[in-house]
Amino acid sequence: MGKSALIFGVTGQDGSYLAEYLLSKEYEVVGVKRRASTDNCINVKNIKDDDNFTLVEGDITDPSSVYDLVLHSQPDECYNLAAMSHVGTSFIQPSYTIDVNANGVLNILEQIRKCSLHTKFYQASTSELFGDNYTIINGQKMQNENTAFSPNSPYAIAKLAAHNLVRVYRAAYGIYGCCGILHNHESPRRGTNFVTRKITRWIGNYYRDSNIPKLKLGNLSAYRDFGYAADYVKAMHLMLQQPIPDDYVVATGNAWSILEFAQAAFQYAGLDFGEHVEIDSALYRPCEVPYLQGDSAKIRSLGWKPSINIQQLVRKMVDYDINHG
């Protein structure tokens, strides 16, 4: 009999890729989605009819909802990929961000503690925890598991609270809990309010209508370590297969500025970046994180590595948005 998994946030980018990956390994997967008045299941449409996949409604901010899900599924593994995941929005909705990203994780940990102690738990942490901090590794500014945290947004503060909750529940109650400190990971399933997908989606729309308004972007000088989300969910799974729970940085080890990402996308599409883009100061964040580049030696020592580089990721996203209107 195969293993079972409970995935909170299954309809998002990471949740959908993870569900597909676990189903390929013959897991029984219960995916939790938020109730919505519009269809939010596009990312899981290709697995909705899989006999080993069950899609249910739930809300990590509701302890009773989480209790029922954990109690009834008694999963071998539980992955929390549900979050208010947009850094910029967290400045506008800080209370909601704290409730989902911190209290929601507490709810899951509490229910595992009370009724499913055998369950291995994965929490999606983030490179935004590092803020302005970095470690010099081989002459480069990078972040690894030993780099100090210095969160620079309500989003990152809430994620740090969740990260520390996992650490405390691991020590206090023996819960098998791992945190994946993931650097930016993108794909054609990335939400269109994130800058990478905003760029490639605009290019796709332009191919269908060249009269659309220019693409408005904010800070182009921030550097991020961009990886492919379908690779990163494999790292999540790998963490929970280890004999001892631990936390891991997941990254490609290469950083590009937002400007470089945008220029690469426009160049690949055969468009002039300067002609079609304008800077909108309203899109700048109140506090910016200037440079994130990950050292993922620890997870790589377990056999994980990215399958594509940043250039290939850009092309994959542009191709998708040109071909899927």
| Domains in the chain: boundaries | 4-186+227-250, 195-223+255-293+308-323
Q: Span 280-302, mean pLDDT?
A: 93
The encoded tokens of residue 111 equal: 């229910």
**Cα–Cα dist 88/288, whole Å:** 10
The encoded tokens of residue 141 equal: 């500014």
Q: Comparing 26-35, 68-77, 86-95, 163-172, which segment has the lowest mean pLDDT?
A: 86-95
Whether pLDDT at 139 is above 90? yes
pLDDT for residue 38: 66
Q: Strands 223-224, 256-257: parallel, antiparallel or unpaired by DSSP?
A: antiparallel
Tokens 């010099």 sit on residue? 136
Q: What is the pLDDT of residues 77-106, one digit of tens each?
A: 999 999 988 888 989 999 999 999 999 999
Q: For the chain, give me the number of helices (H) and strands (E)?
A: 12, 15
Q: Is 126 a catalytic residue?
A: yes
Q: Is 232 a catalytic residue?
A: no
At 16, phi and psi to the nearest 5? Answer: -70, -40
Homologous superfamily in CATH for domain 4-186+227-250: NAD(P)-binding Rossmann-like Domain (3.40.50.720)
**Catalytic residue chosen out of the listed positions 17, 122, 134, 155:** 155
**Catalytic residue chosen out of the listed positions 97, 119, 126, 147:** 126
Pick the CATH number of 195-223+255-293+308-323 from 2.40.50.100, 3.40.50.720, 3.90.25.10, 3.30.1280.10: 3.90.25.10
Q: What is the pLDDT of residues 217-276, one digit of tens each?
A: 999 999 999 999 999 999 999 999 999 999 999 999 999 999 999 999 999 999 999 999
In this structure, the number of other CB atoms found within 10 A of the CB of residue 233 comes to 28
Whether pLDDT at 36 is above 80? no
Whether pLDDT at 325 is above 70? no
Positions of E strands within 63-172: 77-80, 120-126, 135-137, 140-142
Query: Contact, 246 vs 178, CB < 8 A?
Result: yes
Whether pLDDT at 11 is above 90? yes
Q: Give the chain's radius of gyration (CA, Å).
A: 19
Question: What percent of the chain stands above pLDDT 90?
Answer: 92
Grade residue 37 by pLDDT with cuts at 50, 70 and 90: low
Q: Span 10-29, mean pLDDT?
A: 98
**Catalytic residue chosen out of the listed positions 77, 128, 223, 232:** 128
Q: What is the pLDDT of residues 177-216, one digit of tens each?
A: 999 999 999 999 999 989 999 999 999 999 999 999 999 9
Buried b / exposed e over 8-35, threshold 16 CB at 10 Å, is: bbbbbbbbbbbbbbbbeeebbbbbbbbe
Grade residue 40 by pLDDT with cuts at 50, 70 and 90: confident
**Cα–Cα dist 9/61, whole Å:** 12
Tokens 């969160």 sit on residue? 151
pLDDT for residue 88: 85
pLDDT for residue 233: 98
Spatial neighbors of 4 by CB under 8 A, at least 6 apart, are 27, 28, 29, 30, 73, 74, 75, 76, 77
pLDDT for residue 237: 98
Q: Is 28 a catalytic residue?
A: no
Q: What is the pLDDT of residues 289-299, one digit of tens each?
A: 999 999 999 99
